[in-house]
Structure 1
Amino acid sequence: MSEPQKLMLVTGMSGAGKTTTLRVLEDLGWEAVDNFPVRLLRPLVREVLAGEDRVPLAIGFDTRTRGFEPQTVISIVKSLQEREDLALSTLFIDCRSSELERRYNETRRRHPLANGRTALDGILAERDLLEPLRRWADMLIDTSQLATNELQQFVRQNFGTDGAPQIAVTVSSFGFARGMPPLADLVFDMRFLDNPHWVEDLREQTGLDEDVANFLHQTDGFEDNFTRIRELLMDLLPRYGAQGKSYVHIAFGCTGGRHRSVYTAERMAAALRDAGYSPTISHRNLASRATDTVEMQTA
């Protein structure tokens, strides 16, 4: 008999990290679908089981999903759990109400259940609605004290598929003007590149913007040295894994942490994904204003 189809239902409080969790699962080899109508879950399962592919499947839904009703969800899932050809689990992503309120106020996003009221009103209404699912879920992750990259790391450690590399990789950018990252395993100084800060049209942009990317791509020395660094990492990462190291932090620095390091980190993360890794990426100083960074004309 073939292995049961692995299916995980992912739900939880809005703003707690459901979307982040699904993205990491997708990087790990799961097929992930967000905001899926629960009433279509049975037809989807029938279609998946009729095929030969047994890729793990993660289905995300929450209070914004059409036809969402906790007791209906529980009833459908209970009936599916009786199937021997299906390995079904449920994951609830939770977070303290005060922390969710802080996140919504910080990003100025509107809570889906606020309906013209405060974010906290929407959070409390959603918590009451989701309480039956929270009590019933097989697994619960509380992200109240987790940064985004920490949640990503937790998901990688607990839900990786057999075919995913075991070593967890973080790629980050930072500005030397604000100090080096204390826990980086490998640090690459990108200050040998021409600095977009001194190009007026690029100063207020970042390494995530196309104009800055084009500028750095064409900068003398970038492509050759990027290739050397990539080849070095492709050699080192398997060696770290063979020595039992489970976590590697690769940091790219420039003066302010907004242009050269950001672009290089993004390019390297993409190269690592192409090689089969699932890197976590973070930009420590990306939110800093260009005028707040310590820049020198020779940097």
Structure 2
Amino acid sequence: MVDTLNLVVITGMSGAGKTVAMQSFEDLGYFCVDNMPPSLLPKFWELVKQSGKVTKIALVIDLRSRAFYDQIDEMLANLDNTNFVTTKIIFLDASNEELVSRYKETRRSHPLAMEGRLLDGILRERDLLAEIKNRSQLIINTTELTPRQLREKIFENFKLKETAAFHIEVMSFGFKYGLPIDADIVMDVRFLPNPYYVPEFKQLSGLNRAVYDYVMKQHATEDFYERFSSMLHLIMPGYEKEGKTSLTIAIGCTGGQHRSVALAQRLGKDLGQQYPVEITHRDMNKRKETVNRS
């Protein structure tokens, strides 16, 4: 038996922000479909039910599919009569003046004004969408909204019902192998005493308890870690508020084997008490691989 499927239909005026809305739902974990022809929807629902894995779908429907206007009422009525789909319609709107301005800035043609006045196309579209606008559970006017503000509004209305979208990756790496290009925050810990020069630790990594303790028992380590950790806890809510869904924190030492690994483990464990965290060690085994190839 398939779980209840949460369907969000994203529609509204052309140029009002449907692309931004779809990207926001992708970040909330929705399976997003852009402009699917209504005739394909019955087969699509069957595939969804058979898979049993997709439980959240955001469906963008607009004027690019002209058949939409002939079939949308029937489609929504059929969905309302099912016992496995919960449907919510979001209608994105903006003033005529703002829509004209956006089209002129992008130099795109309105789908209903290919050979006529832009404003005439917008007015015709309003008439066509009047009924579905009345059926919408959420209407967002984007006239005064930036893309980021629209994203925030969508998150406000839907994120509370979802598991937390914001997650963190803590990565260790070695500077000798290059900086991680996808890191948001990079911290250099090469100033700490290096276990590599302790003979019994040389072949081990920061995952080894003795190496981990050696790194953590240094006075400089504890002083640094307290300050660094406090800073991260201070700024995390800001990243989340800005709508960022993931953050990569990279901690680097010379070879990515000892100090960075130990600190990444500790930081990941601490942050994991508040956020979903994944810990990766990019270069921890590279020195061994190089030796083995020699």
For the superposition of Structure 1 and Structure 2, which TM-score range results when normalised by the shorter chain? 0.5 to 0.7
Query: How many angstroms does 1:148 deviate by?
Result: 0.9
Query: How many angstroms does 1:77 deviate by?
Result: 0.8
Question: How do residues 1-299 of structure 1 correspond to structure 2 at under 5 angstroms?
Answer: 3-69=3-69, 72-160=71-159, 162-165=162-165, 223=179, 229-230=185-186, 239-240=233-234, 247-249=240-242, 272=248
- Provide the identity percentage: 30
Please state whether the residue corresponding to 1:223 is helix, strand or coil. coil
Query: How many angstroms does 1:239 deviate by?
Result: 2.9
Aligned CA distance change for structure 1 residues 236 and 116 (closer, same or farther; 3 Å): farther
Once the two structures are superposed, what CA deviation does each residue of 1:176-223 show, in whole Å capped at 9, x if it has no partner? xxxxxxxxxxxxxxxxxxxxxxxxxxxxxxxxxxxxxxxxxxxxxx93
* Aligned mates of 1:90, 1:64 — CA distance in 2: 18
* Aligned mates of 1:226, 1:53 — CA distance in 2: 30
Assess if the C-alpha contact under 8 Å between 1:113 and 1:125 holds in 2: yes
Query: How many angstroms does 1:56 deviate by?
Result: 0.5
Aligned CA distance change for structure 1 residues 247 and 75 (closer, same or farther; 3 Å): same
* Aligned mates of 2:28, 2:81 — CA distance in 1: 27
Provide structure 2 residue ranges, at least 5 long, that are not aligned to the other structure: 168-177, 189-227, 250-274, 278-294
Provide structure 1 residue ranges, at least 5 long, that are not aligned to the other structure: 168-221, 251-267, 278-299
Aligned CA distance change for structure 1 residues 237 and 13 (closer, same or farther; 3 Å): farther
* Aligned mates of 1:158, 1:106 — CA distance in 2: 30
Aligned CA distance change for structure 1 residues 224 and 8 (closer, same or farther; 3 Å): closer
Q: Which amino acid letter does the alignment assign opposite residue 185 of structure 2?
A: I
Aligned CA distance change for structure 1 residues 231 and 92 (closer, same or farther; 3 Å): farther
* Aligned mates of 2:31, 2:12 — CA distance in 1: 19
* Aligned mates of 1:24, 1:3 — CA distance in 2: 23
Which structure features the higher share of helix residues?
2
Assess if the C-alpha contact under 8 Å between 2:3 and 2:52 holds in 1: no
Aligned CA distance change for structure 1 residues 40 and 99 (closer, same or farther; 3 Å): same
Assess if the C-alpha contact under 8 Å between 2:184 and 2:248 holds in 1: no
Aligned CA distance change for structure 1 residues 114 and 225 (closer, same or farther; 3 Å): closer
* Aligned mates of 1:6, 1:237 — CA distance in 2: 38
Which protein shows a greater Rg?
A: 2
* Aligned mates of 2:144, 2:153 — CA distance in 1: 13
Assess if the C-alpha contact under 8 Å between 2:166 and 2:245 holds in 1: no
Assess if the C-alpha contact under 8 Å between 1:6 and 1:54 holds in 2: no
Question: Which residue is equivalent to 1:286?
Answer: none
Assess if the C-alpha contact under 8 Å between 2:13 and 2:93 holds in 1: yes
* Aligned mates of 1:225, 1:236 — CA distance in 2: 25
Aligned CA distance change for structure 1 residues 235 and 79 (closer, same or farther; 3 Å): farther
Aligned residues: 203
Aligned CA distance change for structure 1 residues 95 and 50 (closer, same or farther; 3 Å): same
Please state whether the residue corresponding to 1:92 is helix, strand or coil. strand
Deviates more, 1:50-59 or 1:154-163: 154-163
Aligned CA distance change for structure 1 residues 128 and 238 (closer, same or farther; 3 Å): farther
Q: Which amino acid letter does the alignment assign opposite residue 118 of structure 1?
A: R
* Aligned mates of 1:114, 1:131 — CA distance in 2: 18
Q: After TM superposition, what 4+ stretches of structure 1 lie above 6 angstroms from structure 2?
A: none
* Aligned mates of 1:99, 1:228 — CA distance in 2: 35
Aligned Cα root-mean-square deviation (Å): 3.7
* Aligned mates of 1:57, 1:107 — CA distance in 2: 29
Question: Which residue is equivalent to 2:193?
Answer: none
Q: Which amino acid letter does the alignment assign opposite residue 47 of structure 1?
A: L
* Aligned mates of 1:52, 1:14 — CA distance in 2: 33
Please state whether the residue corresponding to 2:151 is helix, strand or coil. helix
Please state whether the residue corresponding to 2:179 is helix, strand or coil. helix
